[in-house]
A and B are shown apart, each in its own frame.
Chain A
Amino acid sequence: MTHSGGYGADPRIHWLEWLPWLAAIVCFFLVPEYLSLGARILIYILFALSLDLILGYAGIITLGHSAFFGLGAYVAGILGAHVGITDPLLQMAIAALAAAILGIATGAVILRTRGLTLLMLTLAITSVCLEIANKATTITGGADGLSGVVVAPVFGQFRFDLFGKTAFVYCLVMLFIGWWLVRRLIYSPFGATLTGIRENTARMHAVGAPVYWRLVSVYTLSATIAGTAGALLTQTNQFVGLNVLGFEPSGELLVMLILGGVGRLYGAFVGPIVYLIAQDFLAKQWPEYWYFGIGVLLVVIVMFARGGLLGIVDLVVAKVQGKRP
């Protein structure tokens, strides 16, 4: 279940990898009442995929990934509410570009550092973004959020409906494109370099890899994907709140990825599904204590399954086959 490139890796898509897509299509027809939740899950999978690219594959630790997600969300929202750009694909392209610019600008500075310093700098960046969004009330709506975001029908045909049908399909297509690009990247020589940097930075320096520039490159790509996910959230909700920025969404995303399994590609799929469904279920059962349930789940995973839920699957499969995981 671990997807890691390299010069001896088989890049062909295994039949099991089609299962999530098949499941999504089945869900579209079988549980139409949950399509809004489904769209939200798809957006968070894309967001988690962007985090997995830098954390799981390149080893860049961050608590500030929501900066790109939030920027993408606000740019799409501002375009739809104030500028008059309502085409969803154009909104998304501009939002992704804005996130990419923030990614390269901040990455060029913070990726010169490592460890705790890096972690704190990423947190500082998203905190600054949060404060800007909070104070610039005329543009962002501040604490009240940005409402009145106008999003035109996709391709002029498919209007975003109350039941989330268009949103679900739209998000599914965007996620598929994101997944395909990330998967391709992981199996490329660039992807092999990233895992090399994660595993042994000293060695990568010693083979002549421009480690810093590779990290800045992947950080920017990841920021672009996160910005796209943010734009999707705005377009499907037609509203942006401050909760897309700051520590909380970054931490939440990290928890999702840890639950699913870091550096496994499909951990980014499993984590948000488990987290958001658990959140939905627990919030209905115990509205005041739902975080407790998520906390217990996280503690159990961290203590007993360091590879996340997919790590457990790996262990079971290895046990059955009598192999080393």
Chain B
Amino acid sequence: MSTVLETRALCKTFGALTVAANIDFRLEAGARHALIGPNGAGKTTFVNMLTGWLPASSRRVLLEGGDVTSLSQSARVKRGLGRTFQINTLFRDLSVLDNVARGVAERRGIAGRMWRPASSYGEIRDESLDLLATLGLADDARQRVVDLPYGKQRLVEIAIALGLKPKVLLLDEPAAGVPSVDAERILQVLGTLPADIAILIIEHDMDLVFRFAQRITVLVQGEVLMEGTPSEIAADRRVHQVYLGEQRHA
């Protein structure tokens, strides 16, 4: 499989504090990859550097072989890098349809047009509604986001990212703070995503991680501790010590 996303010795420092240290990471096309680690390990910082939300202090981010380190967030999105946020980052007072449509319009290059009314672009509305239907949100399309239960709001986050038709989708704790029923629903949705999208998920819900991911990277204090298959990760003593807080061979 070809590599779609790669980092080479990626670093991030805030003054004397190093939050990412020489992170080498590869994401293959169509991968289902999880990034785990204890709180403060630098997972979200890593995702923020991948998307350009935070500038890396040094070294490179490669997307489909091209160096995107110096590109803006929007330029990276246009090259196929989509993301969701750890804390819902939605247009709370807008309808679900309007939330998704803004992303779809941006991808189709319509969002900068000034003349015709936005609602006259039927193709944007239709595509957004189709997307919502695939995520089971068709009935909520006209609802304001703020009126939806939290679990559904997390799905709207995913819907917006999917509206960008990303090649790489970065999901930052998609099931954080949702009831187990909704977490199960999110897992189902993730299972139905197109196989050609490479997905990197950050998640604390180990059940979800081990059911979803084919490969797992463990990050500790800004450094990659190890990478492997779920069974390799589950069997590793260091992971148990630093992440799960257990002494397997006590």
Contacts and interface: CB of A to CB of B under 8 A. Distances in A.
A7 B114 contact: no
Contacts of B85: 202, 206
Given A7-B125, A200-B89, A203-B91, A209 B111 contact: yes
Contacts of B92: 199
A282 B105 CA distance: 50
Interface in B137-191: 142, 160-161, 163-164
B102 A207 contact: yes
B130 to A, nearest CB: 14
B77 A206 contact: yes
**Which of A191, A195, A202, A208: most chain B Cβ within 10 A?**
A208
B90 A7 contact: no
A195 B142 CA distance: 18
Given A207-B102, A208-B78, A208-B107, A11 B160 contact: no
Contacts of B117: 5, 9, 11, 184, 187-188
B101 interface: yes
Contact of B114 (A190, A196, A200, A207): A190
Contacts, number: 131
A318 to B, nearest CB: 15
A7 B112 contact: no
Given A202-B89, A203-B89, A206-B83, A7 B105 contact: yes
B74 interface: yes
Chain A, interface size category, equals 20 to 34
A3 interface: no
A193 interface: yes
B113 A8 contact: no
Chain B, interface size category, equals 35 or more
A210 B112 CA distance: 9
Contacts of B125: 7-8
Interface of A is mostly: helix
A185 interface: yes
A210 B91 CA distance: 17
**Which of A185, A191, A205: most chain B Cβ within 10 A?**
A205
A203 B90 contact: yes
A203 to B, nearest CB: 5
A214 interface: yes
Contacts of A190: 111-114
A7 B73 contact: no
Given A6-B98, A8-B142, A192 B118 contact: yes
B106 A7 contact: no
Contacts of B89: 200, 202-203, 206
B165 to A, nearest CB: 11
6 contacts: A7-B101, A191-B114, A202-B89, A205-B74, A206-B82, A206-B85
Interface of B: 51, 53, 72-74, 77-78, 82-83, 85, 89-95, 97-98, 101-103, 105-107, 110-121, 124-125, 128, 142, 160-161, 163-164
Given A6-B118, A8-B97, 15 more contacts: A5-B117, A185-B114, A187-B118, A189-B118, A193-B102, A196-B102, A199-B92, A202-B85, A203-B102, A204-B102, A206-B73, A206-B160, A207-B160, A208-B164, A209-B74
